[in-house]
Structure 1
Amino acid sequence: MSRIDENKLVENKSAQKIDIGIWRRLFKYLTEFKKGLVFLAFLMVGVAGIDVVMPLLTRYAIDNFIMKKTTNGLTIFAIVYFCIIVFQALNVKLFIINAGKIETHLAYHIRKLGFKRLQQLSFSYYDNSSVGWLMARMTSDVARLSEIISWGLIDMVWALVMMTGFIGVMLYNNVRLTLICMSVVPPLFLIGMFFQKKILKSYRKVRKLNSQLTADFSEEISGAKTTKTIVREEENLSEFVQDAGNMRNSAVKAAMFSALFLPIVISMGSLGAGFVLWIGGKSVISGPLSHGTFVMFIAYTIQFFDPVSQLAGTIAELQNAQASAERIITLIETEPDIWDTKDVIEKYGDLFNPKIENFEPIDGDIEFKDVCFSYENGEKVFQNFNLKVKKGDTIALVGETGSGKSTLVNLLCRFYEPSSGEILIDGIDYRKRSLLWLQSNIGYVLQSPHLFSGNIRDNIMYGKLDATLDQIENAAKLVNAHSFISKLEKGYDSEVGEGGGNLSTGEKQLISFARAIVADPALFVLDEATSSIDTETERMIQNAIEKVLSDRTSFVVAHRLSTIVSADKILVIRHGKITESGTHRELLRKKGYYYTLYTNQLLEDKEMESKAVVS
């Protein structure tokens, strides 16, 4: 079962009832907000306490001023009343200000934890998690959680204090009237359970469809060019309209149940008030109940169902947000498949707190020793794979798609780790060194270059954040990128656009090449870096490769074989095994797989050149 399927299963299970364990795990990450939440709860106790006191003041005024037809003591009463109102206003103001601050800081803190974890997670996590799913976790789920914690839980405190205060005062004054008033609570509770179950079910569906819509937007935006080239606009719109329509229908259904629930609560409250009026009115007429107490009971009866409604709504929101809490906790607590041991961290630090002064330099001798590797889905790639590479050698990897070329360099970079066996760098298992030690010594150029939003200078500096302007320009010159950058209106300050959209594929590749070089890495990896660029840019990169890779241990995953003819060793990998090994000339003399591949590619290139001449 994939990670996405597991999280969907969690979502279906976790929202059936409130799981204290989930919230306890979440609050473990929110200890710095404990004082703020306690202060909010204290404020809400004060607000609820004053709400309980107000009908008592009304009773006092009726019994002592209105019924006795006197104003003796009214001034003191008015001053006390005014002070209580001012105190309540200050309470509410402080509550709103602090709840808003906590909501904002909570969202920031949870997102920071989630983003930090995403930086630590291994490639395998991203293999099983879609961009839309992750975006929904860090946006809508976090917003829902921060809101329910900062407002909902505090509202629950207010509701519980209010209900307890109301019932306590009512029981103290008249048990019979209290029981009459409470007679509508059991049926209201059953009705509330029914409606909240319906509301929760509808909102769970809305939440799932919201994640799907986020994924739809993400895929459509990132795949806009593909959509247009294969003319899929109408089909995509149709699929989106269907998903959006399903979400709309579920949202309307949820809103309908929510809209029906409140009038029912009000009606039941009015029914309770009616009973109090009927029975209480008789008691007032017959004498045992004072007018002030009677009015107080009516006020309590009407107000009692506000916290009941609030409590029911908050419980429903907790259930609704519980799946969000579970998904976020699952993300934050997901352990990377690849991690450093405690001993390694103690010596070299971690990803965010490195002890660079302890990093040993890398010479560049590499050895794969009895390496076995399988992906999570069970696909076996390597079985007892062995390879020795000398310092400064350029190793080219050739083979059909799925043969294990990219997996081999990903294992070298420790993006994945061997299931068994060892990968030695300078004679030492690289797991005895830190991840950051290794990866900060690797220059990696991908087949599909990715540039970050910002200017060209910033993108090259990602390879070395403290790089000087001279170092940036030298790296660009080394890969033959300086000439085209200089021709741009703003030079190195030119914006690349989102994903490098303002530049051609070849220009993006040259900048990504400069980014890898500026850090002066000891190891270099080119993963089909010339497969998606034009011939002229390929020649530029080829010239750069010859200059850059000298005296560096490097691995070149090759699609165009013309780029690897000068490699120190060419490995033909098929089904996870090295079937041919040697220099370009040696492999041609063998007339095996490489010979066939090279000659066929040479014929294709000549055929394309002749067509170009004819046209």
Structure 2
Amino acid sequence: MAQNDFENKRDTADQKIDLRLWKRLIAYAMRHRRTVVSVMLVLLVVAGIDLAYPQLSRYAIDHFIEGGTTEGLWLYGLVYAALVVVQSLGVFLFVRGAGRLEMDMSYDIRQDAFAKLQQLSFSFYDTTSVGWLMARMVSDIARLSDMIAWSLVDLMWAGVFAVGIVAVLLAMNWKLGLLVLCITPVLAALCVFFQKRILKYQRAVRKTNSRITGAFNEGIMGAMTTKTLVREEASAAEFRELTGAMRTASIRSALLSALFMPLVMALGSISTALALSRGGSLVFAGAMGFGTLAAFISYTTQLFDPIQQLARILAEMQSAQASAERVIDLLDTQPDIVDSPEVKAEYGTAFAPRRGNWPPIAGGVEFRDVTFAYKTGETVLRDFNLKVEPGQTIALVGETGAGKSTIVNLVCRFYEPTAGQVLIDGVDYRERSQLWLHSALGYVLQTPHLFSGSIADNIRYGRKDATLDEVKRAAAMVRADRFIEALPDGYGTEVGEGGGRLSTGQKQLVCFARVVLSDPRIFVLDEATSSIDTETEQLIQNAIQTVLTGRTSFIVAHRLSTIRSADKILVIRGGRITEAGTHDELLALGGYYYSLYTHQYRAEATRNAFEA
């Protein structure tokens, strides 16, 4: 299972909480400044009322109980009731506001993360597992929005409440107040001790969770392979190992958290005992009133409630730190292929194109001394040169790994040359925007991919404004209309997830129609007929003659029968062109292409003879 570079980087990262990450995430909350401010104001009111209750109790003891009078009791009851009503309303407004903030933040982060995924280069997906991405987009983002909307707001309440209690304690009796607060340094040391350990195990949990998500994805997608190879038991054992590692790390993290809170509570009890012991002596000595001692004990007990909240939130921040790291890593990932500032200013970006400035594309393609190496260090092309005139059909044949797909990916600017230039209509394509080129491309992959929805929706995927008549014309051009119209719901037939309700050949025909509808100037077929049946291949061969007319086309071919009419066939071996010419010229040459074609021809003839 592929592991993301970010995970490896974070394994060696500093284990301290990075406040810069939280500042970035809090910035998402501040996009909804009105909600944040209203929630904070409500919490300030709630905290103020919490601070007022012990003073009301103090007044009641000193005035009504020790004073032996009921004068003013009705007014006291009215004030108390009013505070309860206001506080209840404040809690309601807080819950509503924090819930709204959580949903808004989750929406914003997911929108930005998905937009980032649309911008990242192919090299990112080469090294990033689906499980890693799904864990970031679903569980991590949900956890962070919940953390900021609720816990960090609670953190502000706890901080204000704790500071308020300390101020009141010191104002009432500063010596007794300092005695109570002497526990604070011990609590701080306790927090630091647990911080590193909880964060360590939470990082391990999140990393393993990504691998588990990926294992689920692979298990579902590869279910048939697993069964045919009788690997059920082995796959289950591998999965048990993953989940076992996550369980171990989770238990250790939970154990530390379980120890953390009781220790905080125990310190609170010690502080309360100190206040009772010393305060009781002062009451008996006549240096402090009974009502004041009751209020003091109440404040002392309440003091450790916000401190417990602070400890809880700190523990949650430690847990969520791993999620924050991974989400910010995703948001901060930069594409390997980016347009220069000058190009963006002139031609726009993928999300804000300036189409009026785009020059038309005729379809001329040229490689000038192109060298290309993948990030892994493998050099695929060296000093590669090729010139293709507009409207020409170029076929690429050769062994697996020879560089055929690399060439067409460079044409599409999915990757850029390590050295040299790729020119479109005589201009280095790095002097134009990526969207300018991609809008003129039609790419049909070896493995067809459809999106959930109807056949018509999939054909018009690249042109949402296309009419049904235009969809039908595109389907007719690639001979897909025959099977579509035979379906009960025709073009309205739902294809299912990934097009699972259609055969591979039918999916490929729909993909062809989708590309044709976008009317590209440069057409790429990357082994598009290698995984389909002979009948569908014949339909596609007939369609190619019509579809490719007048367009610059690159065909990466496995079945040589599909490229006999190409204007030029290139034999690629070791990243170089070893033979070039038309079908007849290469057969006459008697080289690698002749050997490959005659071998396939004999195999095809033998197969047809057996079928007959």
| Residues 431-580 of structure 1: pairs in structure 2 closer than 5 A | 431-580=430-579
C-alpha distance in structure 2 between counterparts of 1:407 and 1:292, whole Å: 83
Question: Structure 2 length normalisation: TM-score?
Answer: 0.96
The alignment's C-alpha RMSD in Å is 1.9
1:107 matches 2:110: no
DSSP 3-state at the match of 2:525: strand
**In structure 2, do the counterparts of structure 1 residues 24 and 190 end up closer, same or farther at CA, with 3 Å as the change threshold?**
closer
Deviates more, 1:326-335 or 1:26-35: 26-35
Deviates more, 1:540-549 or 1:337-346: 337-346
**In structure 2, do the counterparts of structure 1 residues 207 and 15 end up closer, same or farther at CA, with 3 Å as the change threshold?**
farther
Which residue is equivalent to 1:177?
A: 176
Residues 89-125 of structure 1: CA deviation (Å, up to 9, x unaligned)? 1221111111111111101100100000100111011
Native 8 Å contact 1:213 1:243 kept in 2 = yes
Residues 12-68 of structure 1: CA deviation (Å, up to 9, x unaligned)? 455722222222334455541344323323322222222112111111111111110
Structure 2, gaps ≥5 residues long: none
1:402 matches 2:407: no
| Residues 51-450 of structure 1: pairs in structure 2 closer than 5 A | 51-450=50-449
Q: What is the one-letter code of the residue matched to 2:76?
A: F
C-alpha distance in structure 2 between counterparts of 1:577 and 1:354, whole Å: 36
Native 8 Å contact 1:15 1:319 kept in 2 = no
Native 8 Å contact 2:51 2:164 kept in 1 = yes
| Residues 36-51 of structure 1: pairs in structure 2 closer than 5 A | 36-51=35-50
Deviates more, 1:178-187 or 1:563-572: 178-187
Q: What is the one-letter code of the residue matched to 1:386?
A: N
Deviates more, 1:327-336 or 1:97-106: 327-336
Question: Structure 1 length normalisation: TM-score?
Answer: 0.96
C-alpha distance in structure 1 between counterparts of 2:477 and 2:253, whole Å: 61
**In structure 2, do the counterparts of structure 1 residues 197 and 21 end up closer, same or farther at CA, with 3 Å as the change threshold?**
closer
1:10: how far off?
4.4
DSSP 3-state at the match of 1:277: helix
C-alpha distance in structure 2 between counterparts of 1:9 and 1:362, whole Å: 43
Residues 239-258 of structure 1: CA deviation (Å, up to 9, x unaligned)? 11222232223323322332
**In structure 2, do the counterparts of structure 1 residues 28 and 14 end up closer, same or farther at CA, with 3 Å as the change threshold?**
farther
C-alpha distance in structure 2 between counterparts of 1:22 and 1:176, whole Å: 40
1:400: how far off?
0.5
Structure 1, gaps ≥5 residues long: none
Native 8 Å contact 1:451 1:499 kept in 2 = yes
**In structure 2, do the counterparts of structure 1 residues 30 and 170 end up closer, same or farther at CA, with 3 Å as the change threshold?**
closer
Q: What is the one-letter code of the residue matched to 2:280?
A: G
Which residue is equivalent to 1:11?
A: 10
C-alpha distance in structure 1 between counterparts of 2:172 and 2:87, whole Å: 25
Q: What is the one-letter code of the residue matched to 1:480?
A: R
Deviates more, 1:603-612 or 1:389-398: 603-612
Q: What is the one-letter code of the residue matched to 2:84?
A: I
Residues 109-161 of structure 1: CA deviation (Å, up to 9, x unaligned)? 00100000100111011111111111111111111211121112111111111
Native 8 Å contact 2:4 2:127 kept in 1 = no
DSSP 3-state at the match of 1:273: helix
Deviates more, 1:361-370 or 1:113-122: 361-370
1:577: how far off?
0.7
1:189: how far off?
3.4
C-alpha distance in structure 2 between counterparts of 1:12 and 1:162, whole Å: 37
C-alpha distance in structure 2 between counterparts of 1:365 and 1:186, whole Å: 73
Native 8 Å contact 2:261 2:311 kept in 1 = no
C-alpha distance in structure 2 between counterparts of 1:426 and 1:268, whole Å: 76
**In structure 2, do the counterparts of structure 1 residues 28 and 172 end up closer, same or farther at CA, with 3 Å as the change threshold?**
closer
C-alpha distance in structure 2 between counterparts of 1:54 and 1:101, whole Å: 30
Residues 138-192 of structure 1: CA deviation (Å, up to 9, x unaligned)? 1111112111211121111111111111111111111232233223333333334
Q: What is the one-letter code of the residue matched to 2:314?
A: I
**In structure 2, do the counterparts of structure 1 residues 311 and 483 end up closer, same or farther at CA, with 3 Å as the change threshold?**
same
DSSP 3-state at the match of 1:467: coil
Residues 471-499 of structure 1: CA deviation (Å, up to 9, x unaligned)? 11111111111010111111111111111
Q: What is the one-letter code of the residue matched to 1:190?
A: A
1:428: how far off?
1.8
**In structure 2, do the counterparts of structure 1 residues 383 and 14 end up closer, same or farther at CA, with 3 Å as the change threshold?**
closer
1:69: how far off?
0.9
DSSP 3-state at the match of 2:422: strand
DSSP 3-state at the match of 2:372: strand
Runs of 4+ in 1 over 6 A off after TM superposition: none
Deviates more, 1:300-309 or 1:498-507: 300-309
Give the share of equivalent positions with the same residue, in percent: 54
Native 8 Å contact 2:158 2:309 kept in 1 = yes
Native 8 Å contact 1:48 1:161 kept in 2 = yes
Q: What is the one-letter code of the residue matched to 2:395?
A: A
